[in-house]
């Protein structure tokens, strides 16, 4: 955290600890809307795996783990904004709010690292189910798995060792406080997240394009996997606000409001986009019922589709 110089502090208005100006319930509404959608997507994914395909794998359980960490991120965001002062001006913070706000901040950052990482590991595990042994696609998938794990490990260590001891991260007024600048590691983590998002979502495109399917089916398939581009956009927006908060303002709780929004949106959107390809058998099942095809026919075609639930032949082609 950058401490404002005396002239900046002198320009601040008189603190209002009783009824400070706040951002309102906007963040709460956003978070409590997108989190249930993410959890519903995970639940539907497990339904498809258990009751339609009748087979689960590591990619499913890795996404469950990601959803658990993502729920933790959303809880931290809600607590930060509604209880610990991350929706009011920094000059209206009490000392207790400063300490608790920093504690929930480091907790939220840690949970975000793991939520984002496990989302990508889940998607990469799905790729392993379709990547032919010995191909560049499979090799690059394994390399990406190593990269994602390294990102999680490195930035978790950096986050908890930037202050010595770690408790000085939230004890802002400790004597002889020893902490590294927060800007570089935060920007490094945000940039690495965007980079690995891009790698994960671009990785299967050449393989999908070369599948022996009708052109329209290939385009739809690539579009389904390409939904992850929305996560990349959210990650870029989060990176922009990280830079703004750590380098361009001293009113970090007021301006950090948008950073918290994009943090939870990114992590929950990652769960949603990571689950959508696995829900294709469910959509095909509903279409089959409307078209008069039996669910057993659709499930058979899904199993021919390498058990991942995305290469299922449409009911119009059965």
- Report yes or no on 175 lying in a domain: no
In a domain, 58, yes or no: yes
Q: Which domain holds residue 287?
A: 25-169+180-304
Q: How far is CA 89 from CA 15, 82, 86, 101, 254, in A?
A: 9, 13, 8, 13, 5
230 within a domain of the structure (yes/no) = yes
Q: Is residue 317 part of a domain?
A: no
The pLDDT profile of the chain, 318 residues, written as one tens digit per residue, is 668 888 888 899 999 988 899 988 888 888 889 999 999 999 999 998 888 878 888 889 999 999 999 999 999 988 988 888 889 999 999 999 999 999 999 999 999 999 999 999 999 998 888 788 888 889 999 999 999 999 999 999 999 999 989 999 998 887 788 888 888 999 999 999 999 999 988 888 777 777 666 666 667 667 766 677 888 899 999 999 999 999 999 999 999 888 988 998 999 999 998 888 888 777 665 554 444 434 443 334 344 444 433 333 332 332
Q: Report the distance separating Cα 315 and Cα 7, nearest Å.
A: 69
In Å, what is the CA distance from 315 to each residue of 34, 53, 74, 213, 223? 31, 16, 38, 14, 19
Q: Is residue 313 part of a domain?
A: no
* Predicted TM-score (pTM) of this structure: 0.85
- Give the dihedral of Cα atoms 59, 63, 66, 70; nearest 10 deg: 160
Q: What pLDDT was estimated at residue 102?
A: 92
Count of alpha carbons within 13 angstroms of residue 318, beta-carbon side: 23
284-to-247, 288, 290 alpha-carbon distances in Å: 49, 6, 10
Two structure tokens written together for 197: 């998002």
Q: Is residue 231 part of a domain?
A: yes
Domain total of the chain: 1
CA–CA gap between residue 156 and residue 77 (Å, rounded):
19
Read off the CATH number of the domain in which 281 is found. Answer: 1.20.1070
Rg (Cα) of the chain, in Å, rounded?
A: 22
Residue 19 lies in a domain: no
Q: Please report whether residue 203 resides in a domain.
A: yes
Rounded-to-integer distance, Cα 289 and Cα 281, Å: 12
């Amino acid at each position: 955290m950058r401490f404002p110089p005396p002239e900046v502090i002198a320009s601040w208005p008189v603190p209002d600890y009783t009824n400070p100006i706040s951002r309102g319930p906007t963040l709460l509404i956003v978070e409590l809307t997108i989190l249930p959608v993410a959890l519903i997507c995970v639940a539907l994914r497990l339904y498809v795996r258990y009751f339609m395909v009748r087979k689960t794998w590591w990619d499913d359980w890795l996404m469950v783990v990601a959803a658990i960490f993502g729920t933790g991120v959303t809880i931290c965001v809600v607590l930060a904004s509604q209880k610990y002062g991350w929706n009011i001006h920094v000059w209206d913070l009490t000392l207790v709010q400063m300490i608790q706000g920093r504690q929930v901040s480091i907790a939220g950052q840690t949970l975000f690292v793991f939520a984002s990482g496990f989302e990508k590991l889940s998607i990469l595990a799905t790729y392993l189910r379709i990547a032919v042994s010995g191909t560049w696609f499979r090799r690059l998938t394994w390399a990406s798995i190593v990269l994602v794990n390294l990102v999680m490990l490195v930035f978790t260590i950096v986050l908890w060792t930037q202050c010595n001891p770690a408790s000085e991260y939230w004890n802002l007024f400790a004597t002889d406080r020893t902490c590294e600048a927060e800007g570089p590691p935060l920007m490094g983590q945000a940039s690495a997240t965007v980079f690995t998002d891009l790698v994960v979502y671009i990785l299967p495109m050449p393989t999908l394009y070369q599948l022996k399917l009708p052109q329209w089916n290939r385009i739809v398939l690539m579009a389904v996997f390409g939904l992850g581009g929305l996560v990349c956009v959210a990650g870029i927006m989060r990176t922009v606000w990280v830079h703004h908060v750590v380098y361009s303002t001293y009113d970090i709780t007021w301006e950090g409001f948008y950073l918290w929004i994009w943090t939870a949106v990114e992590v929950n959107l990652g769960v949603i986009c990571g689950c959508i390809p696995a829900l294709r058998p469910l959509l095909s099942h509903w279409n089959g019922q409307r078209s008069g095809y039996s669910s057993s026919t659709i499930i058979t075609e899904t199993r021919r589709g390498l058990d991942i639930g995305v290469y299922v032949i449409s009911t119009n082609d059965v």
